[in-house]
Amino acid sequence: MTSAPGGSSLFLCFLTTVFVVCCTNAIEHGKIDINHYRNVVKNMFYHAYDGYINHAYPYDELRPLTCDGHDTWGSYSLTLIDALDTLAVMGNHTEFHRVTNLLIDRSASFFDMDINVSVFETNIRVVGGLLSAHLMMRRTGMVVEPGWPCSGPLLHLAETIARKLLPAFDTETGMPFGTVNLRHGVPKGETPVTCTAGVGTFIVEFGSLSRLTGDPVFEKVAMRAIRALWKFRSPIGLLGNHIDVKTGKWTALDSGIGGGVDSYFEYLVKGSFMFNIPELLEMFREYEKQIVSHLKRDDWYMWANMKKGGITLPLFTSLDAYWPGIQSMLGDLDSAMKTIHNFHQVWKQFGSTPEYYNIPKAEVHQGREGYPLRPELIESIVYLYRATQDPYLLKAGVDIVEAIEHIARTSCGYATVKDVRDHRLENRMESFFLAETTKYLYLLFDPENFLHNNGSHGELIHTPNGDCVLEAGGYVYNTEAHPIDLAAVHCCSAQKKQEEETLQNFHDNLNLLELLDIAQDKESRIIGKKLKKKKQASSTDRQERAETGREGNNESEKAPEGKSEERENSVTQPEGPGRSNDRDHQEAASTHLSTEESKNNENTATSPQPDIKLTIVKSQPKTPDKLPPRDAVDLNGADSQTTASSKVTIQINNDVTVENGHQKPSFDLAQQILDLFSSVTTQGKEDEVRQPSVTELYKTLANVSVVYISKPSIMRCPAQPFHSRISVWGEMFADEDIPLE
Amino acid sequence: MADEILAHGITREVHRQNAVLRVMAKHPELCFILLSVFVTFLTNYGSSFKSKPLVIPARMPEPLFPAVSSVLDLYLGDLRPLVEMLHQEDLIFVMYYAPWCAKSNTAVSQFLRAAQYLDGQVKFVAVNCWYPEGMCRKQYKFLLYPVFFAYHRDNDGYRYMGIERAEFMVKFLEDLVYPLTLLTSADQVKDFLTEHDTVVVGHFDFNDSPHPPGFKQFYYASMRVVEHDPFQPVKFGVVTDYTLALYCHMKQSSDIVFLRINNSTLKYPLPNNITSTNLVRWIFSTRHQLPVRWLVPLGMKSLMLSQEINKGPAVIMFHRASPLSSASQTVAVFKDLALRYNQCPGDKMAADFSRRWLTRSIYNIIKHAKILNFCKEYKKGRLFHTDTFRCCISTCHNCSHCLRESKLNVCEICQFRSGPQRSSVCSFEKSNVVDNYSVQPPLPSNSCQNSIASYDVSSYTSVCCKWCNKNVSYTEFLTPPFSSTIIPSWGSEGRRPTDRYVIESLENLPRKLCGRLTFQKSQQAYPSAIIPDFASTSLPWEFTGHGCRVNQTLSFFTLDSQNHWMIAKSLGLDVSQAHLSPVVVGFDKENEKQVILQEKFSKKTTASFVLNFTKGFLPRHLRTVSSDRQEACGSTPSLCVTELTTDTFQAAVSQPKDVVILVYAGWCGFCLAVSHTFLHLAHYFHTSPNITFARINGETNDLPWEFSMESYPTIIFFPAYREADSVAFPDNIEPSLPNLIRFVLQHATFTTRLHLAADVCSATCVQENLELCRHTLQALRSKSQRLRTHLSALHSNQTRSKPSHYHAAVMKILRKRVEDIQSEISEVKNLKDFLEKSRGRRLDRKTVEKVLSEKMRRKDLSVGR
């Protein structure tokens, strides 16, 4: 609860060294002393955390002016769960253990309450927090069970509460209701209007849950909701702010990147590389294109009408600030830096970012003048600082620390700023202050933190799923800043199982004669791209190189044509046998499918002749597919094409899944049984509005495919242009080269 | 029964109530106590019952500056004291701050230092412009803090947009205090131009009126340009002399010209409409490339660098800038080179400027050295004798209209040289200064007036002129005859300087000079690098005028190593020693080339560096980041892959092993997703001594062209002995572990494959391969048999008929094939025997190696060759 032992003496020690350093090495003016600020942030965290524990626990949040607690989003000690992994990030393992054990002890009854909670907030804060804490247990020195990371008490807890959220997803469109009762499902008379982010912000947590626990249902509901949003986008490719989840009709037509939409885009990007789902990235790229052409003005992102595209509100919303962070993950650093400069400008004006800010007037938007200690700006700064090491960003970070410290600090915590124009304080401290704001600030000033591992080292763990490499730097933060190790998620996944199997096959069926070149010399199966020597750095040379590269691609793409027949089979396999709403069956199917899928990919790239047998084709599936060949061909075509036709691919994919659902005989049977079952349960209530139920949901989920068409070529980041090396300290390059004078 | 119980209960209830009432009636004080407890409870904790969220106002502002300091801190945002002050002070420097702003807080110490240094000259005020109740906040709206403004008494405010360091603020304020320079000779004009590269000169005739038309606007504009570019401001000069004006292409009063060192002279196009805004606009629209531009990125979104870089190749020098001193050798050398590089053969002016610049900078440096010496002695307590500065000469000037009015113009010219020249009693440069005064028309004075000729704290000329009536006997300090000659009649002996500038200068000069030095030192803005061949003129013969011959634009820039180290760092340079030896970089955006000067900075090395850069002779500089994490690799984590840098890359690649390298970018999400797979891959092969794995950050470490990636992540395989045959993992295949293993095996050298085979071949694998061997053996034997039959058939054919070349060739090939198959058979047999021996157990690597050692050697040798 208190800071690390010897903290104060350490701090003093620190100050003296700082002093010495500043005088001997003061050649770099304006250099930020990160050690000092790391301590400031640490103290900030502990001041608020201790305040919560002493005054507010077990309530959800601390009230920093009255120094007491209250329940806000539920009544499950939200701040405690949310702040848990920040403790681990800051290295306080003892407190982490204490709280974890506390949660485990209480887990039996923790979430069995008759309360209405926000599906979205519960997911990102509670499920996300528990997942992240679960994955951090080992590195904080806790004893973990042998099945870890694929099992464990916190994971179980996360799964339990996630399951309580599932009823919300049983809608006609697949988009969830905004509120659910932890005991009774969706409350009666619940409004069907949900904000876009509330529909599409599940894949990171639910995808992780599915892969960690082996139950694909979570990933399915998340993907179904995401695809539904994709389907309901406007003709010009924009999304609105709120949607009716029953009808798919938009109720708020303002399209932007900020409040109400934000984390949907964030999760498209994060989900795409976290789980290797190219579909999500393609969606994002498509949205991004429209956002740039309709919303972007002067490196700001404004609000436009989703149908017509004209700017309706020239506003910056405080939640917009996550966007540059997303861009940085995809390598769009130049654009991200330009935008972050704009956003930081708002901070410099008020010492915080108001919820809404009128850009042309350079003034707070009336009615939305608060600042609840939000983390989005600092989040983007952390991402960008990691990418560019631009000291400007450190300065921006210092601006934030100093301002919060000066403005929001109270006797027992940090308070929401009610009005950024006069810094009046409100009696609330949202849990994300401890979960996100302090965590990101700490990460900015702690370059050696384990979360900053760039992948050069990891831990080898022996699990029931085989050997796994964990903690190799693949941390993906959910929108509540809960880091999830994608390596751990991969470790428990079906793909991993398949890979293990493939390797085992390879080991069993190794062809020594070929491997050792005894019988005859073989041609390579995975033919890499030869790297060319480049004599001169002229642009023509570069172009040539690009061209040869393209030719190489074409060649490798031509190869699999001969095997199209086989590919067809394997691609369409997913909709094959074993579809029922029995969970185990489903799981088996999806495992099987994904293996087929990955095999298919291997095939596409290999030359047709069989040589070193790494993959041994398993016993062929029993029933060949009954899909109309048209779809299969289309799919194939789309598959071998590149990003240009991304939109088409996804649409076709959707169509396939829908059609299949009505054609499978095995499904029909299951459906009939279910129909019967549900008709019994809903007997006599026919007049009433249909209440969402999990059973219904499972039935519909049978039609949702979580098998993805692999496209490794789009899952890459472009290298930065040569001149970007002088894009530092506010220096930018125009989007187009400035013509010579 | 039930009713009875119920009734009973009710009565009991009534009884209890009655009891309470009775107690209350008995003890009214009890009732009062209860009530008061309730009231206090409400008043104390009442707020927590309110449904409305509690709100508290922000805390009251507190002073940011120490109470006793040279800065007036209006921390409640009251502007009235400032307004009052505006009428009293010549110049006020105001900082508008917000108390929560980190930048404001860091600016405090620098603001204080500047205030201390300029104490007495400029008033410093700080205003809290955030406090919502304050007057300032209500009146002004700032988009960021702090904001600096300098307010001139009879003029408006000038915003300071420079670096928030005391030395830069002082330079800005000094430029505002002395914005104009009086130019009195052609030489002076030229020197003025060489020193400042671009100058605006106006001709104003003060004889007509004390306020010639346009002068005021000219004066305002001179300050406005300082606001626009506080680092290399366009300097303003005033010419009063008609002939000198003519020399500068100005025909009449109020003519204004723009002189540019490497371009033609421009005349202000609107002579009848002189406004400061027009002037400033005109100046900045026509001010083109300077010989050397000092770039000062301010940490705000700008295109300054990119605009310069887009124009073409550039040479950038990182050095320790000293805004308050013109005695920097590095700047002098660099500008000298820039001038010479662009000097075209026929252009005499350019050559002249170049020569002038050299003498000028030598003069500056010598002066600086003298001051240094002087201050050393001054500090030791050897007091400075003011006597030595008494050097005044009176001159009488006779002119036509003066005579008519029977008046005599008498001027006293005093020149004061910088302190150190103690020995020279009066080093009057007659030719230089005095002549100008004697030739020119009389100065406009009806009373004694001081005019400052090229003000400088260390060298200074004052002219004091008087109308003297002929009839009146000339005052004690004047001597006839009335000829326009200089009368050096009055020596310095026994005279006291008369004008206040001189007196002030004499009294304050030592303090000022040395105070300035200490100030610069404390701010670390102190020219320190010494260039050995600073004054040499022998450069590579090609250098002078090269820019003119090749017709390629090359820009020269300087950047301050102290304030802009981050740009150097981002270019992969170390500028921590820039105060000893500046760092010079050539940057060519179009050819994506960056080169750096490897030798120590000197005139000669830099000149040949620039030459070689333009010719493309220099090797590309490869940025690299020494990885600290690499050390962490050995210790704690259980799995680790070496991080390479640019420096270690080549060695790593060319070692006699297979090398697999992951090229990644730290920011790339997809790289994060693949890193655990790569680690796993490394682990998979960890028992093979013949293969290594490494990673390199392709964004922070420049690689040779052939390995510069266009996208990340990329996995490259370098086979042992043949690193030129490197291959990249194709980007259309999923980088999953099995795929990667397959890829590696496909390209790996024989030894690696052998090791792996021994390691992973399971019992099933041994069995299967045994079977395979048998089959292969059989197939090979039958094949060999067929060939033999064929061969013998051919043989018999040949013996029968006439031997032909064709036959011979075919037979040769066939024989070769038979031999090959024979050797294959033996190899397969070897393997089979070996597998049989192992009897379903796993293979032992050493034995495998032994069995296949012959082949291994042969394979690797052939590769090695």
Say yes or no for a CB contact (<8 Å) between A516 and B141.
Answer: no
B640 pairs with which residues across the strands?
A457
Say yes or no for a CB contact (<8 Å) between B678 and A455.
Answer: yes
- How far apart (Å, rounded) are the C-alpha atoms in residues A58 and A78? 9
CB contacts of B738 in chain A (<8 Å) are 499, 502-503, 506, 602, 614-615
Say yes or no for a CB contact (<8 Å) between B726 and A553.
Answer: no
In this complex, is the C-beta atom of B728 within 8 Å of any C-beta atom belonging to chain A?
yes
Burial class (CB in 10 A: 0-12, 13-18, 19+), B421: middle
Tell me the average pLDDT across B75-91: 91
B55: left (phi over 0), alpha (psi -120 to 50) or beta: beta
Residue B712 makes CB contacts below 8 A (sequence gap 6+) with: A331, A716, A717, A719, B663, B664, B665, B668, B670, B671, B698, B699
Identify the residue with better confidence: B134 or B462: B134
Say yes or no for a CB contact (<8 Å) between B306 and A455.
Answer: no
Q: Are B715 and B745 in contact (CB under 8 A)?
A: no
Say yes or no for a CB contact (<8 Å) between A534 and B705.
Answer: yes
B557 pairs with which residues across the strands?
B293, B316
Residue A367 makes CB contacts below 8 A (sequence gap 6+) with: A356
Mean pLDDT of successive 10-residue stretches along chain A, which has 741 residues: 38 33 56 95 97 95 95 91 96 96 86 90 95 95 91 94 94 94 91 94 96 95 96 94 94 92 95 95 96 94 93 94 96 95 96 96 94 96 94 96 96 95 95 96 95 90 89 94 96 93 87 72 58 48 43 42 40 38 41 42 39 38 38 37 37 40 48 55 51 86 89 92 91 65 34
Q: Are A132 and A209 in contact (CB under 8 A)?
A: no
Going along A512-577, which residue ranges are E strands? 529-530
Minimal Cβ distance to A516: which of B666, B716, B754:
B754
| Residue given tokens 């210790």 in the structure block | B635
pLDDT the model gives residue B35? 60
pLDDT the model gives residue B454? 38
Minimal Cβ distance to A456: which of B145, B571, B695:
B695
- How far apart (Å, rounded) are the C-alpha atoms in residues A222 and A701? 11
Cα-Cα-Cα-Cα dihedral sign, residues A450, A455, A460, A464: positive
Q: Which of residues 769-798 of B touch A (CB under 8 A)?
A: 769, 772-773, 776, 780
| Residue given tokens 């999400």 in the structure block | B669
Say yes or no for a CB contact (<8 Å) between A717 and B665.
Answer: yes
Which percentage of chain B shows pLDDT scores above 90? 32
Say yes or no for a CB contact (<8 Å) between B55 and A68.
Answer: no
CB contacts of A458 in chain B (<8 Å) are 637-640, 675-676, 679
B92 pairs with which residues across the strands?
B123, B151
pLDDT the model gives residue B402? 45
In this complex, is the C-beta atom of B52 within 8 Å of any C-beta atom belonging to chain A?
no
How sure is the predictor about B760, in pLDDT bands with cuts at 50, 70 and 90?
confident
Other CB atoms within 10 A of residue A607 CB: 16
DSSP output for B295-348: ----SSSB-HHHHHHHTS-EEEEEE---TT-S--HHHHHHHHHHHHHT--TT-H
pLDDT the model gives residue A17? 33
Q: Is the pLDDT of residue B337 over 50?
A: yes
Q: Are A370 and A407 in contact (CB under 8 A)?
A: no
pLDDT the model gives residue A385? 96
Alpha-carbon distances of B731 from B293, B367, B712, rounded to whole Å: 45, 66, 10
In this complex, is the C-beta atom of B310 within 8 Å of any C-beta atom belonging to chain A?
yes
Tell me the average pLDDT across B275-297: 89
Alpha carbon of B827: minimum distance to chain A alpha carbons (Å): 7
pLDDT tens digits, one per residue of B405-425 = 545 555 555 555 544 443 333
The dihedrals phi and psi of B631, each to the nearest 5 degrees, come to -65, -35
Q: Are A145 and A170 in contact (CB under 8 A)?
A: no
CB contacts of B710 in chain A (<8 Å) are 546, 718-719
Alpha carbon of A199: minimum distance to chain B alpha carbons (Å): 24
B464 pairs with which residues across the strands?
B412, B450
**Highest-pLDDT range among B7-16, B301-310, B509-518, B809-818:** B301-310
The lowest-confidence range among A259-273, A697-711, B140-154, B453-467 is: B453-467
Alpha carbon of B147: minimum distance to chain A alpha carbons (Å): 11
**Which residue from B598, B720, B698, B710 is spatially nearest to A534, judged by alpha carbons?**
B710
Domains recognised in chain A with CATH numbers: 34-495+708-733 (1.50.10.10), 530-551+564-622+630-636+644-684 (no CATH)
Kindly calculate the radius of gyration of chain A based on its CA atoms and give it in whole angstroms: 27
DSSP one-letter code for A116: E
pLDDT the model gives residue B502? 56
Alpha carbon of B447: minimum distance to chain A alpha carbons (Å): 51
DSSP one-letter code for B47: G
Question: β-strands B714-718, B727-728: how paired?
Answer: antiparallel
Alpha carbon of B412: minimum distance to chain A alpha carbons (Å): 48
Preferred mutation among A343, A448, A469 to probe B, highest tally of B CBs within 10 A: A469
Alpha-carbon distances of A633 from A564, A652, B642, rounded to whole Å: 9, 11, 45
Other CB atoms within 10 A of residue A292 CB: 11
Tell me the average pLDDT across B171-183: 89
How sure is the predictor about B345, in pLDDT bands with cuts at 50, 70 and 90?
confident
Identify the residue with better confidence: B601 or A624: B601
Minimal Cβ distance to B54: which of A66, A338, A557:
A66
The secondary structure element, H or E, covering residue B105 is helix B102-117
Minimal Cβ distance to B639: which of A26, A29, A458:
A458
Q: What's the whole-model pTM score? A: 0.82
| Residue given tokens 């490497």 in the structure block | B262
Other CB atoms within 10 A of residue B542 CB: 13
pLDDT the model gives residue A564? 39
In this complex, is the C-beta atom of B565 within 8 Å of any C-beta atom belonging to chain A?
yes
CB contacts of A525 in chain B (<8 Å) are 742, 746
CB contacts of A604 in chain B (<8 Å) are 732-733
Burial class (CB in 10 A: 0-12, 13-18, 19+), B49: exposed
CB contacts of A424 in chain B (<8 Å) are 55-58
How sure is the predictor about B457, in pLDDT bands with cuts at 50, 70 and 90?
very low
The distance of Cα B675 from the centroid of its chain, to the nearest Å, equals 34
Say yes or no for a CB contact (<8 Å) between A557 and B732.
Answer: yes
DSSP one-letter code for B657: S
Alpha carbon of B545: minimum distance to chain A alpha carbons (Å): 22
Say yes or no for a CB contact (<8 Å) between B672 and A476.
Answer: yes
Q: Is the pLDDT of residue B795 over 90?
A: no
Minimal Cβ distance to B144: which of A345, A390, A528:
A345
DSSP one-letter code for A729: T
Joined together, the tokens standing for residue A139 give 């590195």
The distance of Cα B534 from the centroid of its chain, to the nearest Å, equals 25
Instruction: Please compute, for residue A512, the number of CA atoms within 13 A of its CA located in the half-sphere on the CB side.
Output: 34
CB contacts of A612 in chain B (<8 Å) are 742, 745-746
Residues of A with catalytic function = 121, 262, 355, 376
- How far apart (Å, rounded) are the C-alpha atoms in residues A186 and A178? 9
CB contacts of B661 in chain A (<8 Å) are none
Cα-Cα-Cα-Cα dihedral sign, residues B573, B579, B580, B584: positive
The angle subtended at Cα B677 by Cα B624 and Cα B701, nearest 5°, is 5
Per the annotation, binding residues of A are 479
Say yes or no for a CB contact (<8 Å) between B306 and A27.
Answer: no
Going along A158-299, which residue ranges are E strands? 179-181, 193-195, 242-244, 250-252, 254-255, 296-297
